[in-house]
Amino acid sequence: MTAAPEIGSARPRSEDARLITGRTNWTDNIQLPGLLHAAFLRSPVAHARITAIDVSQARERPGVVAVFTGADLADEQGSLPCAWPVTEDMVLPDHPPIAVSEVRYVGEPVAVVVARDRYAAADALEAIDVDYESLPAVLDMEEAIKEGADLVHADKGTNKSYEWVFAAGDIDAAFRDAPVVIERRYVQQRLIPSAMEPRAVVCSAVGDEYTLWSATQIPHILRLMLATVTGIPEHRLRVVAPDVGGGFGSKLQVYGEEVACLLLTKRLGRPIKWTESRSEGNATVHHGRDQIQRLSLAADSDGRIRGLKVDLLADMGAYLMLVTPGIPLLGAFMFNGIYKMDAYHFKCAGIFTTKTPTDAYRGAGRPEATYAIERLMDELASELSLDPLEVRRRNWIKHEEFPYETIAGLTYDSGNYEAATDKARQLFEYDKLRAEQADRRDRGDPVQLGIGVSTFTEMCGLAPSRVLGSLSYGAGGWEHASVRVLPSGKVEVVTGSSAHGQGHETAWAQITADRLGVPFEDVRVLHGDTAISPKGMDTYGSRSLAVGGVALYNACDKVIDKARRMAAHLLEADEHDVEFANGAFSVRGVPDQSRTLQEVSLAAFAAHDLPEGFEPSLDSDATHDPDNFSFPHGTHLCAAEVDTETGYVKIRSYVAVDDVGKVVNPLIVEGQVHGGLAQGIAQALYEEAVYDADGNLTTTTMADYLLPAASDLPTFTTDRTETPATTNPLGVKGVGEAGTIASTPAVVNAIVDALRPYGVNDVPMPCTPERVWRTLQGGGPEHSAQPGAGGGLGSAGGEA
Amino acid sequence: MIPGSFDYVRPATLDEAVAALRDAGDEGKVIAGGQSLLPLLRLRLAFPEVLIDVASVPELRGVRDEGSSLLVGAMTTHYEVLRDPLIRQHAPLVAAATSTVADPAVRHRGTFGGSLAHADPAGDLPAVVLAMDGVFVTSSREIPAAEFFADYLTSTLEPDEVLVGVRLPKSFAGWGFHYEKFHRTAQAWAIVGVACLVNRSGGEVAAARVALTNMGSTPVRASAVESAVSGGAADRDAFRAAAGSAAEGTSPPSDLHGSSDYRRHLATVLTARALSRAADV
């Protein structure tokens, strides 16, 4: 009997019931005897010197156990780490977890109250008096780099953290006498990652053994970093990421609140919990995107690309956090997209502003790059009066040309852009929609139809350690897995990848079940606790399956190798004659004599009769360090109806054909694509972190920072082509970010396409109804986002 | 976020509720479904010392037929309003607007009277009740809708006055109706909303009512539009022409979702659309 293969089966996720009902181990659900609660007082101003803090009143408040300022902790709180010094001369300011003498963004912690309950802690914050001496806010990157600009870090003498350049081919030659040159300035607005679960931390100390539970994506990296920052030895610190409700990069961080809670637990000898509110989170989780892109594309008159110049300003915010400066570099190798060209020049400057620090946000660098090139391809098509799919076809790498070394120096191992595009075009009914578009244009319909194309690729599976080393990243990109075959034949899988909603417990069990020939239900997946899973590089950058899944695959192979030797011994056969299939070992040609993996495991455990030198266990470990990134790709097509009277954009249909290689669980892949599309569409239409002229974040609630819900999104049509990755035995590529990366330009391209007859060639993101309408009025695509008082919750404090 | 501390009382009768409010002086606040007040408390934008929860006051519940009008109890939830046969029959505009309020979770807790007493000009129901000339029935008097909304988040309710319900006339039987809500996401407040009732007589408009959401510090009647369409043709061109004056006399806010100018523009476009939908042309 052969069981149906688990790999490729659309199993509902085993973790869903507990995650969806919330009856599980969220950090905020953790209760410990004597638990105290922390609350942080945060700067209400963008930039100021702290001249005095008086906490004496707060200390007297009922229920308050202790109050600390940055100065109180100055000797031990250290500086929050930045693990990616992208250049040798990068300006890296000191970043105290609690500000000591100066605050540089609204929301920066200035004091912390520890009290017997959350309410007492929150009330006591109001009794702390802080004197601020105002310093100038620095909000505009282009102003910040001018001579004599106000400085975020006065002692550094500049607002520029670094400048990083990549060049390939003869860019001057590519632009010299080019028949077509397209120059554009695009703005990637600032975004606020909005995980369903807010950040939360619980710390406890027993003797000199510390445990920190955190809603984090990176328990392993966090442990090392917290040990380094606080001086608590790494082997005395256990970090647990219990069930974590989403991250999107925002929990790929070492936060000041984590450091502070650990230090306060150490000082007070009592367990401490802190859970942020949504408004607190909006101001203080690291933000994403925020780039000004100056782009030039040179092409021949037939549409063939000659060269691309990219000049970025990337907003770092006030400080460099864990990988802040490296985010634009993750995009640096992607601006060329799926296209061939003769020359490429990339320059990026990291700029300090008095805003919340930025860092990784779903896609991290690649959405910015993909947006730029996919918008430019549409502009090129328009310039040459070519169909946007045709101009892409003329430039993309043909399927027979793989593996292909791109102008940016990456080797794309596999891909088939033709197949994905053909499929998408068919599902979308491209020609029919083009006909309708023409009809609406002819009729002067107030509701115009636009078609947006995005033929994207991305690099994921972070990452080959040698590549990370060459980019000065502070760690490697391997991943670890252990497979433990228990005496009863049940299997425990330990992964260093730290799931926070991705469904590892299901997918990893599917891989293991197939490889070991055991039932799916017999596999348990353990993760997210440095005491249980001591080795790992955690989850981000769509790396889990392509790196961690491959480690698991290899560990399973090692189990089989060990078991084969044991089975040969039990079957009194030569190891080379023993075959393994469907969970059982048998001697070639003698199928009726066999031993199941469970029998072999029990025999190894009993250890009564082992082969010479055999250790009594089948348990195996593997660490996988990939040779190359993986390169998912796909073709996304968006049809948008634009109401020219109001500027309202309605997505009418959206087709996503993704090629993520081999698929372990199609249901999980579809879920990732749906969520990714929602997030990418949200950048195009809804989300924007807005600061007022004084540097106050005004989008602190979900009434002002708009996220789409299911009712705001179309029914997605998703499909796949399957071109396996050639760089790993599973043939997988990764899917965690693809939807986000692909969809933003597809939507904006659709809006611009609808409005081209009106002379429109850009609408800035997010394409709010007012911005679309103003663009149509010829008033220029001005940013309309102006904080102020209107109806609704967000402005309930004031009036127009 | 965590609200500041407050006392909580839950009176069982209307008289007890009024007494509790009187005892609290200026520091009391009635809480109904809590869908507007609780966020304000949690954001520490409001600091009442006493919350008077009227959930157990029976006089405030349900929809009653009073002959020529309906009395909609203040504590009737949006969900109950949507399912109420009397509302559907006699005040379908109320049901249409209520169906656009926030999301199902909010509609199950939020109340008809609570959202009106909150007097948020961005709320959907104030414009509807204004358009219908509803009457606010309180623990001590009756207040015509035109006199109820005083300012941004401010009604003419006295500190010791409890809203019991709203009387809605049945006189709009047979009128066409529409609530045109313009917002960026389904759960967001209206950037601009238009509540509209049209009484057609053949190809003409006999009478019309138009009121606007979020076009000022209170809901606003678009009287100029009402006059312009009354007695005129029930067709799109006429409506578009009449709607040109929809923003007259308004002072809409500027905020993250739309500038004042844009709201004025929207008011004209949306009013024309609302009239067309209500008149079914």
Distance between CA atoms of residues A308 and A302, nearest Å: 16
CA B112 from centre of chain: 8
| pLDDT, position B12 | 97
Q: Provide the sign of the torsion angle of the four alpha carbons B1, B7, B9, B14, taken in this order.
A: negative
- Please report which confidence band the pLDDT of residue B209 belongs to, taking 50, 70 and 90 as the band edges: very high
| pLDDT, position B196 | 98
The angle formed by the CA atoms of residues A693, A698 and A700, to the nearest 5 degrees, is 155
- Position A264, amino acid: L
Please answer yes or no on whether A787 and B255 come within 8 Å at the CB atom.
yes
Mean pLDDT of A368-380: 98
A566: left (phi over 0), alpha (psi -120 to 50) or beta: alpha
Name every chain B residue with its beta carbon within 8 A of the beta carbon of A645.
Answer: 269
Name every chain A residue with its beta carbon within 8 A of the beta carbon of B266.
Answer: 646
Mean predicted lDDT score pLDDT of chain A = 95
For chain B, what percent of residues have pLDDT higher than 90?
96
Please answer yes or no on whether A706 and B184 come within 8 Å at the CB atom.
yes
- Please report which confidence band the pLDDT of residue A4 belongs to, taking 50, 70 and 90 as the band edges: confident
Please answer yes or no on whether B270 and A646 come within 8 Å at the CB atom.
yes
Name every chain B residue with its beta carbon within 8 A of the beta carbon of A781.
Answer: none
| Separation in Å, CA of B145 to nearest CA in chain A | 19
Please answer yes or no on whether B255 and A788 come within 8 Å at the CB atom.
yes
Please answer yes or no on whether A123 and B5 come within 8 Å at the CB atom.
yes
pLDDT in tens, A711-766: 999 999 999 999 999 999 999 999 999 999 999 999 999 999 999 999 999 999 99
Q: Provide the sign of the torsion angle of the four alpha carbons A499, A503, A507, A509, taken in this order.
A: positive
Nearest chain B Cα to A646, which residue? B266
Nearest chain B Cα to A702, which residue? B188
Which is nearest to A112 in space by CA: A79, A76, A64, A60? Answer: A64
| pLDDT, position A795 | 37
pLDDT in tens, A232-261: 999 999 999 999 999 999 999 999 999 999
Distance between CA atoms of residues A745 and A635, nearest Å: 12
Please answer yes or no on whether B191 and A769 come within 8 Å at the CB atom.
yes
Distance between CA atoms of residues A605 and B108, nearest Å: 58
pLDDT in tens, A149-189: 999 999 999 999 999 999 999 999 999 999 999 999 999 99
| pLDDT, position A781 | 46
pLDDT in tens, A502-537: 999 999 999 999 999 999 999 999 999 999 999 999
Distance between CA atoms of residues A479 and A551, nearest Å: 6
Distance between CA atoms of residues A421 and A272, nearest Å: 53
| pLDDT, position A780 | 52
Mean pLDDT of B245-252: 96
Distance between CA atoms of residues A733 and A632, nearest Å: 6
Name the DSSP class of A63. Answer: T
Q: Tell me the residue length of chain A.
A: 800
> How many other β-carbons are positioned within 10 Å of the β-carbon of residue A766?
24
What lies within 8 Å, CB to CB, of B129 at 6+ separation is: B94, B116, B145, B148, B166, B168
Please answer yes or no on whether B43 and A789 come within 8 Å at the CB atom.
no
**For residue A130, what are its two tokens?**
């802080």
- Please report which confidence band the pLDDT of residue A2 belongs to, taking 50, 70 and 90 as the band edges: low
- Please report which confidence band the pLDDT of residue A784 belongs to, taking 50, 70 and 90 as the band edges: very low
- Please report which confidence band the pLDDT of residue A35 belongs to, taking 50, 70 and 90 as the band edges: very high
User: Are A349 and A281 spatial neighbours (Cβ–Cβ below 8 Å)?
Assistant: no
- Please report which confidence band the pLDDT of residue A592 belongs to, taking 50, 70 and 90 as the band edges: confident
- Please report which confidence band the pLDDT of residue A402 belongs to, taking 50, 70 and 90 as the band edges: very high
Q: What are phi and psi of B245, to 5 degrees?
A: -100, 15
Distance between CA atoms of residues A743 and A291, nearest Å: 18
Task: List residues of chain B with CB under 8 Å from any CB of chain A.
Answer: 1-2, 4-5, 36, 39-40, 42-43, 45, 103, 120-123, 151-153, 182, 184-191, 213-214, 217, 251-260, 262, 265-266, 269-270
Nearest neighbour of B185 by CB, restricted to A645, A686, A800 = A686
**A642 three-state secondary structure:** strand
- Is the model's pLDDT at B34 over the cut of 70? yes
- Please report which confidence band the pLDDT of residue A779 belongs to, taking 50, 70 and 90 as the band edges: low
| pLDDT, position A778 | 86
Mean pLDDT of A7-34: 95
Which is nearest to A542 in space by CA: A380, A332, A363, A679? Answer: A363
Distance between CA atoms of residues A708 and A720, nearest Å: 25
Mean pLDDT of A628-645: 98
| pLDDT, position A785 | 47
| pLDDT, position A798 | 33
| pLDDT, position A414 | 97
Mean pLDDT of B36-49: 92
- The pTM for the full model equals 0.96
> How many other β-carbons are positioned within 10 Å of the β-carbon of residue B1?
16
- Is the model's pLDDT at A69 over the cut of 60? yes
For chain A, what percent of residues have pLDDT higher than 90?
95
Q: How many CB pairs under 8 A join A and B?
A: 130
- Is the model's pLDDT at B1 over the cut of 80? no
Element (H, E) at A717: strand A716-720
